[in-house]
Homo-oligomer: A and B are copies of this chain.
Amino acid sequence: MYQISELQQLLDQGINNYPYPSSPRNLYEPVSYLLGLGGKRLRPALVLLAADLFEGDVEKAIKPAMAIEFFHNFSLMHDDIMDKAPLRRGKPTVHARWNDETAILSGDIMLIEAYKLITHVDAEILPQVIHVFNKVATEVCEGQQMDMNFEKESSVSISDYIEMIKLKTAVLLGGSLQIGAIIAGSTTINQQLINEFGTKLGIAFQLQDDILDVYGDPEKFGKQVGGDIISNKKTFLLIKSLELAKDHLKLELERLLIDQKIAAEEKVSRVTAIYNALNIKEIAHKKMMDYANDALECLDKINVADDRKLILKDFATHLIMRDK
């Protein structure tokens, strides 16, 4: 079996040597720029890991895996316009470096390139693979819409929030694994189990992200701790706190959310104090571990020798134990 680092190297090779058309240059340049910023290539690695788990031909899964990475970066390019984000992986976003028009059209071509890449599978499994890819693509857009809607809604429930992160983030992990499983010719039940493993793990991954944004070690985390608090982002921590806080804590939290004058640092420290008083970190951690354990249970049920599952188990453990 392959190690993850070997798979990531295969993916980097494929992505770095991607044969972009030479013209129109300014259509394809932003695509290669964004993909060239790197990243951990987690999602496409999942396609290859699943193909390998079910003893498929990993080489055959590389182009579909690249499709996943192109799709993920398409969604980042467009989301960054919508979120007016200046930076991505520490570098200017495409719309900031070029302009909105460029980021719209280069994002579009990136989505179309993803569809080109995903068709590089044997004809007999193409309908299945495209079906999974279409479903995931739809859900990611729906999740992004929900996320944008939440910004304007006065109250969001935990179940709506979980549904949103499931769609926006988690289903792509599940779908990536399922596509790898289809390519390897695994059974339908194994495909479903590995999809569910990825989806639950994806939810845990996002919850851990929420926790790290507040409780991460600033030196390891690599971005501003408390960024979500400063922007009033409706994360699991904030939604749960609004649900649990009573009396003066609730009043203070609500006041902090509408205070336009408060210094960022003070806001972070006072909201964090409320989170601490409510034990939010532990509650969020428990929720995260519930999803992680559900994920691992799905992995257990997959009908494959246990030693083949070790890499995915390690991968999952690494994702939820990460501190950055």
Contact = CB atoms under 8 A, between A and B. Distances in A.
Interface of A: 21, 23-24, 26-27, 78, 81-82, 100-101, 104-105, 107-109, 111-113, 115-116, 119, 123-124, 126-127, 130-131, 134, 137-138, 141-142, 144-146, 148-149
A79 to B, nearest CB: 9
A82 B109 contact: no
A149 B82 CA distance: 24
A141 B134 CA distance: 20
Contacts of A115: 115, 130, 134, 137
Which of A26, A104, A131 has the most chain B CB atoms closer than 10 A to its own CB? A104
A222 to B, nearest CB: 27
Contacts of A81: 100-101, 104
A24 B149 contact: yes
A161 to B, nearest CB: 14
B119 A104 contact: no
A131 B120 CA distance: 10
A268 B107 CA distance: 37
Contact of A131 (B24, B119, B127): B119
Given A112-B138, A119-B131, A123-B127, A105 B144 contact: yes
A119 B127 contact: yes
A215 B126 CA distance: 49
17 contacts: A26-B145, A27-B145, A81-B100, A81-B104, A105-B145, A108-B141, A109-B142, A111-B112, A112-B134, A113-B138, A115-B115, A115-B134, A115-B137, A119-B130, A123-B123, A123-B126, A123-B127
A126 to B, nearest CB: 6
Contacts of A21: 142
Contacts of A101: 81-82, 148
Contacts of A108: 78, 107-108, 111, 141
Given A100-B100, A119-B130, A27 B142 contact: yes
Nearest to A138: B112
Which residue of A107, A138, A149 has the most chain B CB atoms within 10 A of its CB atom?
Answer: A138
A255 B301 CA distance: 76
Given A78-B104, A142-B24, A134 B119 contact: yes
A109 to B, nearest CB: 5
A248 B46 CA distance: 67
A101 to B, nearest CB: 4
Nearest to A136: B112
A121 to B, nearest CB: 9
Contact of A149 (B26, B145, B149): B26
A80 to B, nearest CB: 11
Contact of A105 (B27, B105, B119, B141): B141
A268 B172 CA distance: 53
